[in-house]
Amino acid sequence: MLKKNYLSLFLLFNIILSFSQNRKVIELSEGWKFQKGNPENASQIEFNDTNWQNVTVPHDWAIYGPFDKEIDKQIIAITQNGEKIPTEKTGRTGSLPHIGSAWYRKSFNIHENDINKKIILQFDGAMSEPEVFLNGKKIGEWKYGYSYFYFDISEDVLKGNNLLAVKLINKEFASRWYPGAGLYRKVTLTFKEKENIKHWGTFITTPIVTKSFAKVSIKTKVSSTHGKLVTKIYDKLENLVAERESSEAFGNEFEQNIKINNPNLWSPENPYLYTAKTSLFIDNKLKDEITTKFGVRKIEFIPKKGFFLNDSLTKFKGVCLHHDLGPLGTAINRSALKRQLTILKDMGVNAIRSSHNMPSLEQLELCDEMGFLFLAESFDEWKKPKVKNGYNRFFDEYAKKDVENLVRATRNHPCIVMWSSGNEVPDQWGSEGVKRAKWLQDIFHKEDPTRPVTVGMDQVKAVMASGFGAIMDIPGLNYRVHLYEEANEKFPQGYILGSETASTVSSRGIYKFPVAQGIMKKYDDFQSSSYDLEFCSWSNLPEDDFILQDDKSWVLGEFVWTGFDYLGEPTPYDEQWPSRSSYFGMIDLAGIPKDRYYLYRSRWNTKEETLHILPHWNWKGREGKKTPVFVYTNYDSAELFVNGKSMGIQKKTKDKTPQHRYRLMWNDVIYKPGTLKVIAFNADGKAVASKEIKTAGKPYQIVLDADRKTVNADGKDISFVTVSVVDKNGVPCPTATNQLQFDVTGKGNFRAVCNGDATSLELFHKPTMKLFSGKLVVLVQSTKETGNITLKVKGKGLKSGSIQITSIKE
């Protein structure tokens, strides 16, 4: 009975992630107390936290706002952008109140059966500079807010009640984007026997991969120098496919080589995962057991030819992602991450770059399962600073430890095919930078000799001259498309990666006239044109990269800046207020695709049809004026009709501008209200697809569309509901800006709302917001009870809308 009550107590306040006879992992999620500020003696048991806020972890305390231009206001010249004169930057880190200190406290119980066990306390990420206390005693600290780290608390826990306290501090001038604040990733306790498999002590590789068999190499570090290790490998259907027993350790490490016949190879098209179950026996008694998912796959980078996955030439069709999740801030949520990846998968993306930080473990798990190649990045800054209080303060003491933790915690993920030791670091100049690059790369190689290392380099002339670029496994160029040829001639590797590309800027559903290419274009409404012809002073339009990918075998592929908009860095409006989030995304902050999404989809998603028309066709006041029409499609030609009258056939061609090679454009269309229709033709000239958009009348009715109508009753799962309005004929209203209100009843809660407008100062957690370009997204979160959830949306003068979501136990 005692054991049952103890288990119930843990279930009440935590989530048991895994449980076996000799090991259990428990997530410390609920029952946390939170207080912003620096209360005296907050780490002590006797401190009164009655009035502290009750929160669940992961938690980002700054996302709740308000937005304020004075927060982290930076007077700075951004050297990465070519600026030489300092100016006031108000939205660079999102204008959310993330500056300052905060405390988290949580009580947990240690049963007498566990008091003599090995107990590991792990933090997946804590923003930032965490100091950790247990029962009033400081047990350790870390510095980097993006790093995973852990402490052995076996000697510090008490039988019965224990008090964990964490102090965090975010300094001003410490980031170039919104970093978040708080315990924004998981906190876990691992219980195991004193004789055990070491934390992050398993390393699985597949050094030989053929269609008929694969060699799986498993290195396992243990706490003792003797014993027996048994590893069993199971397929996706839990069938045993191979096993190996070893009784000889080399020091404290077992090395096992196991053959899998006719392996199912992991790839983005076939993300097949095996499971290795490793058991440690001492004197024939089971002491520890751990399961590890892995993929069988082969990676090769071949000079002048490119990247090969399982002997198949593969171009990186990648995007860069910052770590915030829009209206959720940086607090990790698996359903929000999965929605992001689902949207990217539909676009044809096959690769993710975590920029410019270490990825969450949940993101890597999903990339394994859903099939994304991954470039895992470590730092945005080395010894030389970009911002006053950045990572430069910790580089000497922590860089080695941070890289080791990154690799050891994540190296079994088959999705990871490259490491990045840095992004646009000022250390690119001079001999000291070359030494640091080599030093970091050697650490990666020591921890993982199976994957290459890159750096995102923007100072291409400097790295060609210094040798910095020549020593890297993979030369990664950020932009500088005009230097690709010269760099490839001077670098010895025989290939170049577009580690960061494009930086095209746009606002969803906003179009500017006249339609022309523009560098750092600014408008009075602080929006950017969605004709996808505007870019930054250091960057270029998408087609410049497309041509390199298509015409140069030695270009490995690209990682576009960025997949999704993110909080902070509102270029080109980082000197204007209010602008508090980016314009770079192919998808806006709410997760709604922009027009540019379909430009990339037409090239990357080769399995499905893309036929997308822009702009919308609601232009009161533009009657009789030129209003260019673009079509993004994977067909080579199409005919455009305005109110039934043909505007002619356009074909993709290499003979004009780069845009004509990848877009169909009718630049002389005169606006008349009515219907735009496009008919696409296949290579034989046969009409095979059509699409049309119509001029809408006044907004009349609210329409709701959920990404999922069934959610898990775990208190964390989220359904993302897109809200739009239509006229009396059901035609979408693309310019609507109605103020809407939201009400959630039943077994769920209103979690947040976002409209994708980079200039909006409306708070995400308030149940009201204006439509932006006719749309917004409401986040409905489950409780732990099963049943129905109803979202009702209303707005003045509009017919209300509602949708029902079902919450079940999975």
How many C-beta atoms lie closer than 10 Å to residue 786's C-beta?
13
DSSP-derived secondary structure for 688-728: EEEEEEE---S--EEEEEES-SEEETTTT-EEEEEEEEE-T
Q: Would you say residue 624 has pLDDT above 50?
A: yes
DSSP-derived secondary structure for 497-522: EEEEEE-B---TT---SS---EES--
All domains of the chain, ordered by start, with CATH?
2-60+97-192 (2.60.120.260), 197-294 (2.60.40.10), 314-503+538-566 (3.20.20.80), 611-694 (2.60.40.10), 701-808 (2.60.40.10)
Closest C-alpha among 521, 533, 526, 525 to residue 667: 533
pLDDT in tens, 234-257: 999 999 999 999 999 898 999 999
Can you read off the two tokens belonging to residue 194?
A: 């004193």
Burial of 8 (0-12, 13-18, 19+ CB in 10 A): exposed
The full 3-state SS of 423-434, as one line of letters, equals ECCHHHCHHHHH
At 683 the three-state DSSP class reads: coil
The full 3-state SS of 288-315, as one line of letters, equals EEEEEEECECCEEEECCCEEEECCEECC
Please state, for a pLDDT cut of 70, what percent of the chain lies above it: 97
Q: Are 541 and 534 in contact (CB under 8 A)?
A: no
pLDDT in tens, 192-248: 999 999 999 999 999 999 999 999 999 999 998 889 999 999 999 999 999 999 999
| Rounded distance between C-alpha atoms, residue 453 and residue 464, angstroms | 17
**86: Cβ–Cβ under 8 A, 6 or more apart, which residues?**
75, 76, 77
How many C-beta atoms lie closer than 10 Å to residue 767's C-beta?
14
pLDDT in tens, 107-152: 999 999 999 999 999 999 999 999 999 999 999 999 999 999 999 9
DSSP-derived secondary structure for 32-97: EEEEES--TTTTSTTS--TTSEEE-SS--TTTT----TTTT-EEE--GGGT--S-EEESSTTTTSS
| Rounded distance between C-alpha atoms, residue 641 and residue 287, angstroms | 73
| Rounded distance between C-alpha atoms, residue 769 and residue 679, angstroms | 37
**Amino acid at position 429, single letter:** W
Q: Are 482 and 545 in contact (CB under 8 A)?
A: no
Q: Would you say residue 18 has pLDDT above 70?
A: no
Q: Would you say residue 611 has pLDDT above 60?
A: yes
pLDDT in tens, 468-491: 999 999 999 999 999 999 999 999
Active site amino acids: 424, 500
**482: Cβ–Cβ under 8 A, 6 or more apart, which residues?**
none
Q: Are 686 and 786 in contact (CB under 8 A)?
A: no
| Rounded distance between C-alpha atoms, residue 529 and residue 510, angstroms | 6
How many C-beta atoms lie closer than 10 Å to residue 383's C-beta?
16
Q: Would you say residue 562 has pLDDT above 60?
A: yes
Q: How confident is the model at residue 38 (pLDDT cuts 50, 70, 90)?
A: confident
Can you read off the two tokens belonging to residue 641?
A: 């009709």
Which residue is associated with the tokens 């049809």?
Answer: 609
Q: How many CA atoms lie within 13 A of 570 on its CB side?
A: 30
Closest C-alpha among 164, 156, 159, 152 to residue 115: 159
Q: Would you say residue 456 has pLDDT above 60?
A: yes
* Mean pLDDT in residue range 264-283: 97
Can you read off the two tokens belonging to residue 575?
A: 């000197």
Strand partners of residue 445:
none
| Rounded distance between C-alpha atoms, residue 64 and residue 97, angstroms | 8
| Rounded distance between C-alpha atoms, residue 466 and residue 434, angstroms | 7
Position 10 scores a pLDDT of 44
* Mean pLDDT in residue range 76-92: 84
Q: How confident is the model at residue 16 (pLDDT cuts 50, 70, 90)?
A: low
| Rounded distance between C-alpha atoms, residue 389 and residue 384, angstroms | 11
CA–CA–CA angle 77, 79, 85 (5° rounding): 30
Position 17 scores a pLDDT of 65
Taking the model in full, what pTM does it have? 0.96
* Mean pLDDT in residue range 750-769: 98
| Rounded distance between C-alpha atoms, residue 398 and residue 23, angstroms | 30
Q: How confident is the model at residue 20 (pLDDT cuts 50, 70, 90)?
A: low
